[in-house]
Amino acid sequence: MTTLYGYFRSSAAYRVRIALNLKGLAYDQAPVNLVKGEQRGEEYLARNPQGLVPALVTDDGARLTQSLAICEYLDERYPEPALLPADAAGRARVRALAQAVACEIHPLNNLRVLKYLTGELGVDEATKMTWYRHWVSEGFAALETQLSREAGSGDFCHGDAPGLADLCLVPQVFNAERFACDLTAYPRIRRIVANCRALDAFARAAPEAQPDAG
């Protein structure tokens, strides 16, 4: 059986849950409580030295880390439905949209960074929220422009089927909503996310639907 080591609110774990669901793959969940610091425990570090979730152990024993690498692995092993388009330019576009979330927004706003801000840097809660919203607003403004302007966009980030970019975007929007970011300036993003959320694969991957949701 495939086992996902994750955390209900982790954006990166949420991406992999969506990918597994889109592929129709069954999996067990092994929750790693990030707030309690379980990702820094000896047991988890032996599994993933990065001390990050998610990690995926597949039914044939492969031990995978980094959410986008995991999603691409799933797409290679279980090609249908595809998370990436067939043409190289389309694949580059979808990967770039995914990375615009995974490399430009999410790394700045995850739990360990927010903890460093309020801990080591001693910033107050309001300044932390401004930081969070700043990177969301920078990233979403650019994404909104790309999604509105580029011919590749459709009901989803690329065409009319969900893929790698959508499974990054939806968890980022979930997090932005949790931090009360104003998303009115991003109608195209909101429309795509609404289309995703209407799908069972996304709904079942939502944080509140997970066994460790607190």
Binding site for a copy of itself (CB under 8 A): 49-52, 62, 64-66, 68-70, 72-73, 76-77, 88-89, 91-93, 95-96, 98-100, 102-104, 106-108, 113, 116, 120-121, 123, 127, 130-131, 134, 142, 145-146, 149
Nearer to a copy of itself by C-beta: 144 or 155? 144
- Least distance from a copy of itself to the Cβ atom of residue 70, Å: 7
Nearer to a copy of itself by C-beta: 149 or 200? 149
CA 31 to chain centre: 16
Helix (H, G, I), strand (E, B) or coil at 83: coil
Tell me how far apart the alpha carbons of residues 189 and 173 are, in angstroms, rounded to a whole number.
9
- Least distance from a copy of itself to the Cβ atom of residue 210, Å: 22
- On the question of a cis peptide bond just before residue 54, with omega within 30 degrees of 0, the verdict is yes
Which residue reads 């970019």 in tokens? 165
Tell me how far apart the alpha carbons of residues 162 and 156 are, in angstroms, rounded to a whole number.
6
- Least distance from a copy of itself to the Cβ atom of residue 173, Å: 18
Residues β-bridged to residue 5: 30, 55
- Least distance from a copy of itself to the Cβ atom of residue 31, Å: 21
- Least distance from a copy of itself to the Cβ atom of residue 158, Å: 12
Nearer to a copy of itself by C-beta: 41 or 203? 41
What are the Cα distances from residue 34, in Å, to 6, 52, 73, 169? 9, 9, 25, 21
Nearer to a copy of itself by C-beta: 70 or 170? 70
